[in-house]
Amino acid sequence: MLKAVVAEDDSILRKNIIKKLSMHPEIEITYSTDNGNDLLYAVSKIKPELIITDISMPGMSGIEVVKNIREKLPDTEIIFITSYQDFIKEAVNLYAYDYIEKPIDYQRFYKTIQRIAEKVSSSSNLLQFMTDEGQEIVKEQDIYVIEASKKETIIYTKVKVFTSSYSFKEAESLLDKRNFFKSSRSFIINIQKVKSIRKASRTSFKVYFIDKDFEAYLSKMKYEAFRTTIKGLRVNKL
């Protein structure tokens, strides 16, 4: 999902923008406000992929907010919404994706959102994991298992196994939840790679994977949720 925040001091317009965004299946609206200062605080915490902001509003202007966050969030897409053309040059210098004048042409607005969603989606399949040696960049679909190991994580991929300095929670936050399932307190598994599961004990199942000798565990408490998620999986009970 693409996290989006909205800042607009006209409450009716803000509601209309949120309504249009809600129509897109890949957009998650994580915050909305009518104040630039609130927007800056929220963006620094949420780190969204998309910011839709008015330029003139109480507190900081939309331009000032983006100037403050641009260096830390260089890949966040920005859409400025305004009644004036005076700020186009500044918007371009801040690498804004679009500059939309009021009244909003919602057909154009939705097409812009669609293009951004497609752009983010096409680049999101490459994940970066920090390690003691630097970083590892892997394709999300090549990950089979992520295992918690004290304050670190072990990443099992199609090509190699490596240890990341990311915590289990940090690693989990990078993954598309449609493809990955937290099978226990210590394992996250790629449901597309699962071959079968077998009962290991009274409280857990062992998970086996296609073309790999990797093993993971599925807790009994997660069993039914897993079955629902992975319809069609052949489950073997011993």
Q: What is the C-alpha separation between 166 and 138, in angstroms, rounded?
A: 14
Gyration radius from the chain CA atoms: 22
pLDDT of residue 235: 36
Q: CA angle 205-210-216, nearest 5°?
A: 30
How many percent of the chain have pLDDT more than 70?
Answer: 95
Q: Which domains are seen in the chain, by residue range?
A: 2-123 (3.40.50.2300), 126-236 (2.40.50.1020)
Strand, helix or coil at 123?
helix
Residue in 80, 74, 73 with CA at minimum distance from that of residue 57: 80
Taking 70 as the pLDDT cut, the residues of the chain under it are 121-124, 230-238
pLDDT of residue 145: 97
pLDDT of residue 238: 30
- Asked whether 175 and 144 are in contact (CB, 8 A), the reply is no
pTM of the model: 0.55
- Asked whether 165 and 132 are in contact (CB, 8 A), the reply is yes
